Amino acid sequence: MDSGEIQNHHVGADEPIYNIGVVSRMTGIPVATLRIWERRYEFPHAGRTAGGHRLYSEQELTRLRWVKATIDEGMQTSQAIRALRSHERQGRVLETSALMPEAAAPAPAASSSLESLRHRFTEALERTDLDQADQLLGEILAFYPLESVILDVFSPGLAAIGDAWRAGRVNVATEHLASSYLRQRLTLWLMTGPPTYPIRPIVLACAPNEWHEIGLLMLGVLLRRRRWPVAYLGQAAPLSDLAKFMRDTRPPVVVLAAMTDETARGLLDLPRWLQEIPHSSRPVIAFGGRAFSLSPELRSQMRGVYLGATLPEGVEVIERLLRESTALTLP
């Protein structure tokens, strides 16, 4: 499951997605000020991750920019926030461009194209400059949907850092730091998203002894953005525990990922463990990863449905399997 093209599926304007550092850079409002405003004026409204970190929506960004522009015009903070709420009660559209032209989101210039931003983002990770990486990620999210960030920034960026490591341009520690950075952002996005369809979660797990999980995490985020509930088990899932989890949770689909021949062959014993699950409760098994993409022999030996060589293919196959295996009528 590698990156590729996917249908655009934009994040809703009221969906929490930006962390407080990104919001501070995008609005020019210091982090400390944002926290004081929240405590003193109950503004802006922030969602929370499972770990308690603030997340802000595109809608809150617009509200913050309006208040910032109004304050810059000479109004007191409390008056600006009251004016904002008065506008909203009257149903008036917030216009920030007249007060703060730079607040409107213009089309990115050639120097800020996604390809250019991706190169700069990757270089920042290679330099271990995480502050710069954060800033660039905020710029990318301001212009492009999250799907583009995953498919056109994270996936090729990770591959480029892997190539740099193999070529000796970066060391193992740098590669691990970059992977950890991407993993943290993907995990955060996996925990947030639009309301999910009312079905049991899809289970995502790496093969036994498989520790490379970034591709599977990206797949999980893409599914979550499309409103599919996801139970992410992550790295190196033992088949015995996985079978018990299937029996207890009865997922409609289980997705398994393997990056090497060795870990892929570790999945070939799965049918033996599935015998412990009543036939009527057995999920559809889907599999993917670099090992299966490169080896038709492994694909032919594996019981289940092959997801294809790219992330978009994987999403498409999983959605087809879900529609076939559930009674849910979907748009």
CATH number (1.20.58.760, 3.90.230.10, 3.60.40.10, 1.10.1240.10) of 110-190 reads 1.10.1240.10
Contact assessment for residue 243 and residue 211, using Cβ atoms and an 8 Å cutoff? no
> Facing residues of 1 across strands?
none
Dihedral of the CA atoms 62, 21, 188, 64 (nearest 10)? -10
pLDDT, tens only, 167-206: 999 999 999 999 999 999 999 899 877 888 999 999 999 9
DSSP bridge partners of 18: 56
Domain boundaries, the chain: 18-103, 110-190, 202-325
- Which pLDDT belongs to residue 51? 76
Cβ-contact 209, 200 below 8 angstroms:
no
β 54-56/18-19 pair status: antiparallel
Please answer whether residues 56 and 18 qualify as being in contact, where contact means their C-beta atoms are separated by less than 8 angstroms. yes
**pLDDT tens per residue, range 163-176:** 899 899 999 999 99
Domain 18-103 class, CATH top level: mainly alpha
Angstrom CA distances, 102 to 22, 69, 97, 148, 250, stand at 16, 10, 7, 23, 51
Local confidence band at 125 (pLDDT 50, 70, 90 cut-offs): very high
Q: Is the pTM of this model over 0.75?
A: no
Q: Which CATH superfamily groups domain 202-325?
A: Cobalamin-binding domain (3.40.50.280)
